[in-house]
Amino acid sequence: QVQLVESGGGLVKPGGSLRLSCAASGLTFSAYYMSWIRQAPGKGLEWVSYISSNGTTIYYADSVRGRFTISRDNARNSLYLQMNSLRAEDTAVYFCQIGLRNWGQGTLVSVSS
Amino acid sequence: DIVMTQSPDSLAVSLGERATINCKSSQSVFYSSNNQNYLAWYQQKPGQPPKLLIYWASTRDSGVPDRFSGSGSGTDFTLTISSLQADDVAVYYCQQYYSTYTFGQGTKLEIK
């Protein structure tokens, strides 16, 4: 079955950087668009970024545009999110998602001094 | 950006009774070229990722019990649980995927 495993979360100071990864298995990774979606503690879901199957089409939420960069490596079945200039309001669990159905368990990013 | 607004924010329903959650989009999510509404419903339980229940506004995902149904078109959508079970206690989200993604704010469903 499809498995998505996120990694790279942690505690970082405001203004710092983190790189999240999402390793996929159980599907033809290169055939699917992917997204990052986040959920602040006790809050709802917020879409962060989308990348097409070949990486040529990319979208970002206004809240992260210019600070976050999504990318993928189809040879490694992996999705990435480079997060720079992090702010306290970026604190959340970050999920990767393939299509609509498949979600990872999430990785927690905490931005605090 | 398309804004999704759910109502109510929370809902308490007796076991075996019907639960209804509404979702309204700020613009139509119906795509006439394929006659589909780009609207999904998710269920999320504490500590878990969301689970897809419904896509194309009314298509149940594989393995989803038939007590869950979705309806609506254009800008107004409804998720109905026909006979509430204890396992249905969760937060429910609608999502449009017509133009990037946006989610509703969520509806917390509890047992009365």
Task: Please list every residue in chain B whose beta carbon sits closer than 8 Å to the beta carbon of residue A104.
Answer: 49
Number of alpha helices (DSSP H) and beta strands (DSSP E) in chain A: 0, 11
Read off the pLDDT of residues B19-64 as tens digits, 9 standing for 90 and up.
999 999 999 999 999 999 999 999 999 999 999 999 999 999 999 9
Three-state DSSP at B60 gives strand
Helices (H), chain B: none
Phi, psi of A81 (to 5 degrees): -140, 110
In chain B, whose CA is at the least distance from the CA of A44? B105
Rg of chain B over all Cα atoms, to the nearest angstrom: 13
Instruction: Assess A28–B contact: CB distance below 8 Å, yes or no.
Output: no
Which tokens belong to B106? 């969520």
Read off the pLDDT of residues A7-22 as tens digits, 9 standing for 90 and up.
999 999 999 999 999 9
The answer to whether residues A111 and A87 touch, using CB atoms and an 8 Å cutoff, is: yes
- Closest CA–CA distance from residue A42 to any residue of chain B (Å): 10
